[in-house]
Amino acid sequence: MPIVRLRRLGRLAVALPVGLVSLAMGACSPLTLLNSLVSDDGYRVEASLAYGDGPRRTLDVYVPDRLNTPAPIVVFFYGGSWQSGAKDDYRFAAQGLVARGYVVVVPDYRLWPEVAFPGFVEDGAAAVSWAFAHGASYGGDPGRVYVMGHSAGAHIAALLALDGRYLAAVGHDRSQLAGLIGLAGPYDFLPVKSENLKQIFHIGVEDPAPSQPINFAAGGAPPALLVTGDDDTTVYPKNSINLARRLGEAGDRVTLKRYPGLGHIGIVLALARPLPFRAGILDDVDAFVQATGAAVRPQP
């Protein structure tokens, strides 16, 4: 791959114009280009396994070839404003994580307008339940399941970790989670101005408080790593800052990482191993996983 294309992706990740956010996250050229750089070596993929009914309730499992079992399991939810996205577009993120020795689960979930809140969170709970039930079959440790997400996916992950009703509905307790890893998540985003988001979250019709992860930061949460870019103008850093403060006040274990000069898309593109700028987010994730349950390294 020509070095100029690598440099272009690096610049894109550091400072993607706001107008291109929907293009980058909804699919297309930047993610297709990035996935073309990702190696197929060192792991296998079990694709489109059903965790529920319907085409949007399937998931991919990434398994390292050389694995000390049992390994941590990371369930990664992608973003897209709860309206777009597909698991196939996030091979670059899964590959960055699987290279660290994790079993990685990337689910699809139903989107607006097929469902509104909390349908996509309920799908997230079902996918995590699948990981608890089946992760060991892929060398994973059901006792070390992490929920992770970017943007709207971080919102889903945070509600699963903080509002115990979702996992309880599928027969689990949030205390079973080893941790929450949130990248540029909207955790405290009221008031809402977007008409689409008002419909997605029933704002003006129902109490919007249950849609805000920060309202469930009341103690007893699993450890959390919250990562944000100081140049994020899509999901403002205050979301991560406010949630980190509230978790700390509640006595929960939380680590906040802020990246100067990094925007909304750069946070997730930094998971890609081929990118030359390589912000240290994978290292932050690895340190968090080791601190909350030692990460298992692939055999050399």
Domains, the chain, with CATH or none: 3-292 (3.40.50.1820)
**What 8-state DSSP symbol labels residue 190?**
P
- Res 298: pLDDT: 44
- Calpha distance 237→156 (Å, rounded): 17
- Residues of the chain whose pLDDT is less than 70? 1-29, 274-279, 294-300
Beta carbons of 5 and 269 less than 8 angstroms apart: no
**Taking the mean position of all CA atoms in its chain, how far away is CA 33?**
21
Helix (H), strand (E) at residue 59: strand 58-64
* Strand order, beta sheet including 140-150: 43-50, 58-64, 103-107, 71-77, 140-150, 177-183, 224-229, 254-259
- Res 26: pLDDT: 39
